[in-house]
A and B are shown apart, each in its own frame.
Chain A
Amino acid sequence: MVMSFFRRPEEGGLEQIDAQVQRMVNDARHTFDLAMSAVTGGAVETVAEEVRRTDRQINLTEMEIRRALLVHASVHGATDTPEVLVFMNMVKDLERIGDYNKNIFDLAEEGVSLAGSPDLEEILALRDEVSSRIALMGEILATRDEERARAYISRGDELRRGFDEKVRALIHSTEPGVLAVPRALLFRFLKRISAHSLNVVSAVVMPVDQLDYFDESEDTRL
Chain B
Amino acid sequence: MTNETAFDGPKPRTLPTSVRGLLVLALLYMFLTGVNLLGGGFKTLGNDLVDGLFQGVSNPVAGLFVGLLATVLVQSSSVSTSVIVGLVASGVVSTSDAVPMIMGANLGTTVTNTLASLGHVRRDAEFRRAFAAATVHDFFNIMAVVVFLPLELATGYLSSSAAWITERVVGSGGSDFKSPLKAAVKMPANWVKDLLASLGAHGDLKGGLMIAVGLVFIFVALAFITKNMRLLVADRVEAAINKALGAGSGVVAMALGLIITVAVQSSSITTAVMVPLAASGVLTLGNIYPVTLGANVGTTVTALLAALATGSPAAVTVAVVHTLFNISGIVVFYPLPALRRIPLRLAESLAALATERRAVAVAYTLIMFVVIPLTGVLVLR
Q: A residues near B, CB below 8 A?
A: 1-2, 4-6, 8-9, 12-13, 16, 67-68, 70-76, 79, 82-83, 85-86, 144, 203-210
Contacts and interface: CB of A to CB of B under 8 A. Distances in A.
B236 A9 contact: yes
A70 B242 contact: no
Q: Of residues A2, A70, A75, A210, which shows the largest number of chain B Cβ atoms within 10 Å of its Cβ?
A: A75
Nearest to A10: B239
A5 B238 contact: no
Contacts of B243: 1, 4
Contacts of B2: 207-209
A76 B238 contact: yes
B234 interface: yes
A212 B247 CA distance: 35
A192 to B, nearest CB: 24
A141 to B, nearest CB: 9
A9 B255 contact: no
B318 to A, nearest CB: 29
Contacts of A9: 235-236, 238-239
B6 interface: yes
Contacts of A79: 11-12
B277 interface: yes
Contacts of B277: 70-71, 74
Contacts of A4: 239-240, 243-244
B248 to A, nearest CB: 5
Contact of B276 (A6, A74, A85): A74
B18 interface: no
B236 A71 contact: no
Contacts of A72: 238
B379 to A, nearest CB: 40
A67 B282 contact: yes
Contact of B3 (A71, A82, A207): A207
A209 B6 CA distance: 10
B260 interface: yes
A206 B2 CA distance: 9
B7 A144 contact: yes
Contacts of A210: 1
Interface in B238-274: 238-244, 247-248, 252, 255-256, 259-260, 263, 273-274
Contact of A203 (B7, B259, B280): B7
A140 to B, nearest CB: 11
B48 interface: no
Contacts of A208: 2, 5-6
B276 A203 contact: no
Contacts of B282: 67, 70-71
A3 to B, nearest CB: 10
A203 to B, nearest CB: 6
14 contacts: A1-B248, A1-B252, A5-B236, A5-B259, A5-B260, A9-B238, A67-B242, A67-B282, A70-B276, A74-B276, A75-B238, A85-B6, A204-B7, A209-B2
B315 interface: no
Nearest to B258: A2
Is chain B's interface secondary structure helix, strand, loop, or mixed overall? helix
Interface of B: 1-9, 11-12, 234-244, 247-248, 252, 255-256, 259-260, 263, 273-274, 276-277, 280, 282
Contact of B236 (A8, A83, A206): A8
A180 to B, nearest CB: 41
A5 B240 contact: yes
Contacts of B256: 1-2, 5
A74 B6 contact: no
A68 B236 CA distance: 13
Contact of B1 (A67, A74, A209): A209
Nearest to A85: B6
A66 to B, nearest CB: 9
Given A13-B235, A204-B7, A68 B244 contact: no
B1 A207 contact: yes
Given A5-B256, A209-B1, 8 more contacts: A1-B240, A13-B238, A75-B234, A75-B238, A86-B7, A207-B1, A207-B3, A209-B2
A26 to B, nearest CB: 21
B5 A68 contact: no
A71 B275 CA distance: 11
B234 to A, nearest CB: 5
B252 A2 contact: yes
Nearest to B12: A79
Contacts of B1: 207, 209-210
A43 B239 CA distance: 42
Given A8-B236, A12-B235, A210-B1, A71 B7 contact: no
What 6 A-B pairs are tightest by C-beta distance, nearest first? A82-B6, A86-B6, A9-B239, A13-B238, A1-B244, A75-B238
B20 to A, nearest CB: 14
A82 B256 CA distance: 29
Contact of B5 (A5, A70, A204): A204
A148 to B, nearest CB: 14
B9 A82 contact: yes
A212 B235 CA distance: 30
A71 B244 contact: no
